[in-house]
Structure 1
Amino acid sequence: GHLTATKGGRVRYVPLTRRLAAGLEAAQPGAGKTDEVLKRDNGRPFRESHVADLLAKVAREAGMPPHGPHTLRHTFCSHLAMRGAAVSAIQVLAGHQDLLTTQRYMHLSPNMLDAAIKLLDAPRIREAPRGDIVETLAGAFTSD
């Protein structure tokens, strides 16, 4: 799909997962081939206020507290981060100009933090390549 109504007035391409593209195509034949990916029953595009109303309705029906559209952005960025996507890729996909904005959107679960620290407990799979910072530091502490 394409987004044309970014805050900065930029046009940007947003790739879709195959599953999402197939779902959009099934729900609205031709979806994903136009500038407006999501359309209301009357053919007009969804606006942020429509999405907010829809999310509030779904949350109410599920007995959950309401959340706005930005919750979806936080979830999107967080899930990509927890699956190991590069921060710079998440930044581009989220349409953020500033990496700090992206980092504010990424929230890691406690399990992900535990898994990250366990990486330091794992045995090294290979020796550090020549010129690695470890080799450089080790050389600094040897006496000749």
Structure 2
Amino acid sequence: PDTRAGADEAERREVARVLNTGEVKKASPSPRKESPTVREFSKIFIETSRITNKASTIDAKNAVFKCHLLPLIGDLPIDQVTYAVIEDLKLALARKKISRVDPDKLDEARTLSPKTINNCLTCLRRMLVVARKRGLIEHVPDVEWLRAPAPDFDFLDFEEADRLVAAAEGQLRTMIRVGLRTGMRHGEILALRWQDVDLVAGRIMVRQNVVRGIVGTPKSGKPREIALGDDVRAALKAHRHLRGPLVFCDMGGKMLTDSESKNPLAHACKRAGLRPIGWHCLRHSFASHLAMRGATLKVIQDLLGHSTIVMTMRYAHLAPEVGRDAVRLLDGGNRGSGMAAEKKTKAN
């Protein structure tokens, strides 16, 4: 009977049977669920990522799966993604030609960069981690990353920056000054509101960023404060308007589109006799100028809003005097140690 007494009696009988026969019944293994394919589980992975990731990050993950991962391993069950499969995937990606070229010139097309391949491996590994947490796989296979060269970046020297500002007019000139003197990202400049600008105290609180028309938090996920220099502070005072809450906007107070800010910058570069640059070059210029003037990498990191100092280290070579000054500190220490040793010897 399905009672406590019945359960106790059944347990006593089982114990007596084991003592008499020495045979222990093995529990029958539960049937294993069929593992979803990479293609099937990638949809679940993307949907769960939407909870914590920004829209731009979701777009990037979708592109990685659609363009690179799913064509190669999309039909493979997720529990069959082994170390060997990942290594073969790396080889296939390394041979893959960039598709945005003339089909007749495919032989001349570049292959995927190590950075792009590492981005694919990062998405794949993160998906496998989620699959393990859901009990779909027992462990995540090892992933060996490619060694990617340090990314190049362009920046304007001091004279080029002055020429660009002089070649621009009106609102564009103020936007360029803000980019060069605050290091704000293009989307942060477009989403900047007057309520985040304190012209009395001389500071900007970066609280918003816009990517592909979607307004959200800055890339780091948290606001940051940037002090304003005298020239950009004066430029913002002169630019003050009543068209709406945005600092930079069209005549109706609406946020500028990418083309409404990128095309004028290209024209200003042409008038200044400069190579074509993008808005991010102004951010690089801000950091580079600070490094060349002796600012510490930690200060530059905080102003740029980098989550780690690894990204900021790209500007370290522009401040060789910082390293020389640091090494000279040892000269002072050696002299102090030598004097202390000399005094001790005399005392003895």
- Shared fold, TM over 0.5: yes
State whether residues 59 and 65 of structure 1, in contact with CA within 8 Å, keep that contact through their aligned partners in structure 2. yes
Paired residues for 1:124-139 under 5 Å: 128=332, 132=333
1:95 & 1:2 partners in 2: Cα distance?
A: 12
The residue number in structure 1 matching 2:205 is 2
In structure 2, give the amino acid aligned to 1:2.
Answer: M
Paired residues for 1:30-41 under 5 Å: 36-41=246-251
State whether residues 224 and 303 of structure 2, in contact with CA within 8 Å, keep that contact through their aligned partners in structure 1. no
Paired residues for 1:1-144 under 5 Å: 1-3=204-206, 4-5=208-209, 6-29=218-241, 36-46=246-256, 50-105=260-315, 108=318, 113=320, 128=332, 132=333
Q: Deviations over 1:91-125 (max 9, x none)?
A: 111111111211224562xxx65x678879x9x9x
State whether residues 59 and 66 of structure 1, in contact with CA within 8 Å, keep that contact through their aligned partners in structure 2. yes
The structural deviation recorded for 1:83 is: 1.0
Question: Structure 1 pair 91/68, CA: closer, same or farther in 2 (3 Å)?
Answer: same
The total of aligned residue pairs comes to 126
1:29 & 1:2 partners in 2: Cα distance?
A: 19
After TM superposition, the score normalised by the length of structure 1 is: 0.64
State whether residues 52 and 68 of structure 1, in contact with CA within 8 Å, keep that contact through their aligned partners in structure 2. yes
- More helix by percentage: 2
| Bigger-Rg structure (1/2) | 2
Structure 1 residues not aligned, in runs of 5+ = 140-144
Helix, strand or coil at the partner of 1:7? coil
- Cα-Cα RMSD: 3.7
The structural deviation recorded for 1:40 is: 3.6
Structure 2 residues not aligned, in runs of 5+ = 1-203, 210-217, 342-348
Question: Structure 1 pair 119/103, CA: closer, same or farther in 2 (3 Å)?
Answer: closer
After TM superposition, the score normalised by the length of structure 2 is: 0.30
1:50 & 1:105 partners in 2: Cα distance?
A: 30
State whether residues 294 and 322 of structure 2, in contact with CA within 8 Å, keep that contact through their aligned partners in structure 1. no
In structure 1, give the amino acid aligned to 2:282.
Answer: L
In structure 2, give the amino acid aligned to 1:24.
Answer: L
Helix, strand or coil at the partner of 2:236? helix
